[in-house]
Amino acid sequence: MSVNSIQISIIVPVYNSSGELRECLSALIGSSHSGLEIIVVDDASTDGSPHVAAEMGVRVFRLPRNSGPSAARNYGARHARGDIFFFVDADVVVMCGAVSHVLKVLEEHPDVDAVFGSYDACPRIKGIVSQYRNLLHHFVHQKGNPEASTFWAGCGAIRRTAFKEIGGFDEKRFPRYIEDIELGYRLRQARHRILLDKGLHGTHLKRWTLRSMIRTDIVGRAIPWTRLILESKNAPQDLNLKSGQRLSGVLTGLASLLLLLTPFRIELLGLSAGAFFGVIALNRDLYAFFLRQRGLFFTTACIPLHLLYYLYSGLTFSCVWLDFQVRGAVALQPRAERRI
């Protein structure tokens, strides 16, 4: 089958992102690929998002109440006509030729059922936190295993047959957070091949603050992702779960604990510093990337942000793990014993 004969449906969920949506759709419409349809699913926005989509001539559906990206994407998939579903977030501007790129990859690899990319190295929003966050995502994906163990729906495509086979995104357990990661786990469990294409990029338009970053990392990623890992007993050595990153989390927690104990034993200060330097050594490639991209000042500002990331992520994992163990122990107790 030739590339031009493949039908592809681009599905864009949106919630109160009218400004970003206009740029997102402009890039997609500019693809002008034959056999292409663009579907916007408005998740009960209170701004002008659905009107922007309607003005730009794409298919628009509106959910009666805010239900999260899982429901929005599934709704779009139910109304899509394509053989391939290309999911794009409303705050992502895909690179020129993204649609043709995706179709070519899937045509050249008939055994691949899903493909996803990454943010590019040119985030639009200024500011240390926004630049750090987006460049970190780019770096992690660029260093990831091409034979992926998960999926990213910010700029990722799935064949209709595979999507339908596994039942789409989980709207009950993962309506808003890590829904694409969980879908990727199920794809791999069903023996579908997922490809991380490092040549597929999109520019991220989201503005991050320190508060929004920490809240998203804890509530939207660390808590549900830890629960998914513990329940599925699956923690692939890829992306954010590589051994070096896990060790960095442990060392950051140890260094912080030793630092708190230094008023009682001053010699612990050296051990704390050694642990922190260990984290820096483990992440030297990332910091070298920051240095090449934005210079010394930016890199110096990003190091404490990254250490903070490891600290609260590690603490969250420990708390969820402990809660999981306690709940599991209680569940295994005889009923009569639990009533005592």
pLDDT tens-digit map of 156-180: 999 999 999 999 999 999 999 999 9
pLDDT for residue 127: 94
Q: Which residues contact 277 (CB under 8 A, 6 or more apart)?
A: none
CB 100 within 8 A of CB 200: no
Query: Alpha helix locations (H) across the chain?
Result: 18-29, 49-55, 69-79, 98-108, 128-142, 160-166, 179-189, 210-215, 223-232, 243-261, 268-282, 284-294, 296-332, 335-339
pLDDT for residue 81: 94
Q: Can you tell me the mean pLDDT for 207-225?
A: 95
Of all residues in the chain, the percent with pLDDT exceeding 90 is 84
What is the C-alpha separation between 245 and 139, in angstroms, rounded? 13
Residue 106: give the domain boundaries.
Answer: 3-208
Angle, to 10 degrees, between the axis of helix 179-189 and the axis of helix 223-232? Answer: 20
Is residue 222 included in any domain, yes or no?
Answer: no
**215 pLDDT higher than 80:** yes
Q: What is the CATH number of the domain that holds 53?
A: 3.90.550.10
Is residue 224 included in any domain, yes or no?
Answer: no
Calculate Rg over the CA atoms of the chain: 22
Residues 260 and 182 both lie in one domain: no
Is residue 218 included in any domain, yes or no?
Answer: no
Is residue 226 included in any domain, yes or no?
Answer: no
**90 pLDDT higher than 80:** yes
Residues 172 and 32 both lie in one domain: yes
Is residue 227 included in any domain, yes or no?
Answer: no
Residues 30 and 146 both lie in one domain: yes
Residues 192 and 246 both lie in one domain: no
Confidence of residue 328 (pLDDT cuts 50, 70, 90): low
Residues 186 and 248 both lie in one domain: no
Residues 112 and 179 both lie in one domain: yes
What is the C-alpha separation between 160 and 252, in angstroms, rounded? 43
Residues 166 and 30 both lie in one domain: yes
pLDDT for residue 303: 97
Residue 199, number of CB atoms within 10 A of its CB: 9
Residues 135 and 249 both lie in one domain: no
Confidence of residue 1 (pLDDT cuts 50, 70, 90): very low
**340 pLDDT higher than 90:** no
Residues 250 and 174 both lie in one domain: no
Residues 138 and 254 both lie in one domain: no
Residues 202 and 255 both lie in one domain: no
What is the C-alpha separation between 24 and 95, in angstroms, rounded? 10
Q: In 3-state terms, what secondary structure has residue 61?
A: strand
pLDDT for residue 294: 96
**4 pLDDT higher than 60:** no
Is residue 334 included in any domain, yes or no?
Answer: yes
Pairing of strands 8-14, 84-88: parallel
Confidence of residue 32 (pLDDT cuts 50, 70, 90): low
Is residue 93 included in any domain, yes or no?
Answer: yes
Confidence of residue 234 (pLDDT cuts 50, 70, 90): confident
What is the C-alpha separation between 247 and 278, in angstroms, rounded? 9
Residues in the chain: 340
Q: Can you tell me the mean pLDDT for 144-155?
A: 94
Q: Can you tell me the mean pLDDT for 14-38?
A: 90
Confidence of residue 31 (pLDDT cuts 50, 70, 90): confident
Which position has the higher pLDDT, 104 or 236? 104
Closest CA to 156 of 89, 224, 97, 67: 89
Residues 8 and 107 both lie in one domain: yes
pLDDT for residue 93: 97
Total domain count, the chain: 2
What would the pLDDT profile of 273-323 be if each residue is shown by its tens digit?
999 999 999 999 999 999 999 999 999 999 999 999 999 999 999 999 999
